[in-house]
Chains A and B, each alone.
Chain A
């Protein structure tokens, strides 16, 4: 068992393990709502949008996360309100808003002279660089997201499954939607340390998409997604230690391996999907 304990001799590895496991947990739980609401693109969108805020914060010499968070939250709220008020789809709105914020970041960065190594970490993540403050931040985030999901479990479930009837029965569906968007923005910013702007969406989507193929109940999908999220974060980090490779990439690829394994092992889900498609076809034909 030396191969398991050896890396823990280094304090930075212990911190990285705690941080990546908590990030994996938080992302994979909130990712269940992202996947079931068909808004997977939003993870990528908010992460890229935060780039402008990070560069602005860098130029102003303030906390980079704070800058990224402001841009991610504003973009999340903008995406929510534009897609509600116009006939454009959520994907299209995300496509327009995130590229514009990312372009602003690129424009500002191109005006900065010299090599900007701090900003590199934001693009690809650097979980080995987390310090004590980061750990406190990650723990607070995990508590916040878990508390919201536990307290508003039935409301989030109802509003995700059937927004129209949820609204008709008096649930504050708009408020729940914006709450989910803001939680997503916060989660993504904190998770940038693990996977960076380019890869963070995978932490949200891949564990939940994997769990979806293995489960037939919402509750079990949340639990399985959380296990895959934590497992691939820890496994990916060990792989990065022994392969001497970028940790963000190994974590994402570990989750992807689970995804394809689940696809291969999920006859039940395949039959369900074909049943759903067949009933849609029948409904369309009957009209």
Chain B
């Protein structure tokens, strides 16, 4: 599975970072702390079976001649719950967009759900953009916004049906917003807006869910609600990749962590990745942040 990952450009000993999750490994105290993902990490599909959900080999991408992703190589198995961490401007959003096939790659090869991301069946991926990219003064209700998640499925010219409306109500219920359907999207708090966006991605019934900074500007209660929901869907088989620059949640929720700073600095389970060496290579030196993350991973 992950034995084929190339880590010749990591700053960290490859044996420590890229190795497959091995529950018989010697760092005994790590195992109990993997608690939320202990089960599904063990259940990850074997390399010989289903192809990886995401497989990137030496992928570069950028904007206006500026390189943002530098030979990014990693793979995500079906059913993984992956967190992409890195400082602002490290390429997290760009990586997510290249996975979604909405940002072109300049070199390397990328495969997502068995096909070229640019030619991917869009119904199979859900994408939750950063909430700043959206015009919150837009006159639409929460229900209308969630319904947009069905548009790709409906196709051109077709109108939403009762089944689409039922799917929207179920998704709003799942994110705890059943009573806010008729509210204007701009009147919601940051956490509610984010939950509405997650609901919109869920009505797509995606196999792979990509979330860009799902807990930025979100209160602690909504953070917990969002992650609980994602974890539930992940246990149901959905592959999830989320970016965040909030390290406090990483060890608690993600099964795999990818440390990104234009290049892949480290990739593996939190217990193996979250140490001072990788985090200072990822974030530069921010002793406070790193201290906290390492403590919560221990």
A: which residues have CB within 8 A of B?
36-38, 85-87, 151-152, 154-155, 157-158, 160-171, 212, 215-218, 220-221, 272-273, 275-276, 279-280, 282-284, 286-287
Contacts and interface: CB of A to CB of B under 8 A. Distances in A.
Interface residues of B, number: 47
A152 B159 CA distance: 10
Contact of A170 (B122, B145, B217): B122
A161 B134 contact: yes
B184 interface: yes
A210 to B, nearest CB: 13
Contact of A168 (B122, B136, B160): B122
A282 B190 contact: yes
A155 B156 contact: yes
Contact of A276 (B125, B127, B137): B137
22 contacts: A36-B135, A36-B139, A155-B151, A161-B135, A161-B145, A162-B148, A165-B127, A165-B200, A166-B148, A167-B102, A168-B100, A169-B122, A169-B148, A169-B151, A169-B204, A171-B151, A216-B139, A218-B138, A275-B186, A279-B189, A280-B136, A283-B190
Nearest to A280: B136
Given A165-B127, A168-B125, 16 more contacts: A36-B138, A86-B64, A152-B157, A155-B156, A160-B135, A161-B138, A165-B128, A167-B102, A168-B129, A170-B152, A218-B138, A220-B139, A272-B137, A276-B136, A279-B136, A279-B190
Contacts of A158: 148, 151
Kindly list the 9 A-B residue pairs having the minimum CB-CB distance in the complex, ordered from nearest. A170-B122, A169-B152, A168-B127, A283-B217, A164-B129, A276-B186, A170-B152, A168-B100, A283-B190
A177 to B, nearest CB: 14
Contact of A273 (B125, B137, B200): B137
A279 B151 contact: no
A224 to B, nearest CB: 10
Given A151-B157, A161-B135, A167-B102, A272 B204 contact: no
A165 B129 contact: yes
Contacts of A155: 151, 156
A163 B129 CA distance: 10
B225 interface: no
Nearest to B120: A170
A212 to B, nearest CB: 7
A166 B189 CA distance: 23
Contacts of A164: 97, 102, 127, 129, 133
Given A87-B64, A280-B136, A287 B217 contact: yes
B188 interface: yes
Given A38-B135, A161-B148, A170-B122, A217 B216 contact: no
B269 interface: no
A215 B141 CA distance: 12
Interface string B114-150: 0000000011010111010111111111001100110
B138 A160 contact: yes
A161 B151 CA distance: 13
B287 to A, nearest CB: 21
A37 B152 CA distance: 21
Contacts of B134: 161-162
B187 interface: yes
Contacts of B135: 36-38, 160-162
Contacts of A151: 157
Given A161-B134, A162-B129, A170-B152, A218 B144 contact: yes
A154 B151 contact: yes
A165 B139 contact: no
